[in-house]
Amino acid sequence: MNNIQEKQTDIILSLDNISRTFIQGDNSIKVLDKVNLFVRRGEIVSLIGSSGSGKSSLLHIAGLLEVPDSGEIRINDIKFSQMSEKQRTISRRNSIGFIYQFHHLLSDFSAIDNITIPMLIAGHQKSYAINKAEELLNKLELLNRKNHLPSQMSGGEQQRISIARALANSPNILLADEPTGNLDAKTADIVFNQFLSLAKDENMAVILATHNIKLSEKSDRVISLKNGSLIED
């Protein structure tokens, strides 16, 4: 197989001519204008842009949470434009992990419960889910906190639990929207490095939306979103 073919087969996520317009009163705002983007397995892509530039919309479309006005989304070369919502939900559950600025942990459940629940919903055995959760907690240096509630952990610890939860079902694609935006600089750097290390270990394709230029520079590629278009730095 030549290099071109290898690169094509490595592409796990492709956005082709994606457009999205929002209506606010009498105004129409085009946040995405025929955007094209691909991400390969094991690749970390940072998406930067000002607030309101459309970064979150792009992530929601890539994550099958939002339907574009036009264009095609492909995951593992499967088209999603004609799929039903049920089919999209199944694909989202099996292929995509999400991390947000705010951890959204279940407050009445322990750290390990927050990680195992998505695996149980996906149909995994409880013993498998517990073993996988403990493995992730160990990698994040939080195994000693597995029985703690979110309220008993620091902000950085809570966000690391949300990262473990997103990785629990071994998704092909990981979408992160300002995952360290709610942390102080020192904690953000630690959490970000652990996040990148785990994603690389799992050979995941990652799109990371961030305002933090310093952290984005640790990615494989940095892409700016401006006036509805993507510009690769």
Give the chain's radius of gyration (CA, Å): 18
Q: What is the reported pLDDT for 9?
A: 61
Residue pLDDT, tens place only, 169-188: 888 899 988 887 777 787 77
Listed in order, strand segments (DSSP E) in the chain are 11-24, 27-40, 44-48, 70-75, 78-79, 96-100, 173-177, 205-209, 221-226, 229-232
Average pLDDT for 71-83: 86
For the cut 80, the answer to whether the pLDDT of residue 101 exceeds it is no
61 CB-side CA count, 13 A: 28
DSSP state of 5: H
The percentage of residues in the chain with a pLDDT greater than 90, rounded to a whole number, is 33
CB count within 10 Å of CB 145 equals 20
- Prediction pTM value: 0.84
Mean confidence (pLDDT) of the chain? 85
What are the pLDDT digits (tens) for 18-63?
999 888 777 888 889 899 999 999 899 999 887 777 888 899 999 9
Cα separation, 87 vs 83, whole angstroms = 6
Q: Which of 187, 109, 180 is nearest to 154 (CA)?
A: 187
155-187 core/surface letters (b: 16 or more CB in 10 A; e: else): bbbbbbbbbbbbbbbebbbbbbbbbbbbbeeeb
> Reduced to 3 states, what is the DSSP secondary structure of residue 160?
helix
User: How far apart (Å, rounded) are the C-alpha atoms in residues 156 and 206?
Assistant: 20
58-62, 80-84, 112-116, 137-141, range with the lowest pLDDT: 80-84
Nearest to 205, CA basis, from 173, 232, 228: 173
User: According to the model, what pLDDT value does residue 159 have?
Assistant: 85
Q: Domain ranges in the chain?
A: 3-232
CATH code given to domain 3-232:
3.40.50.300
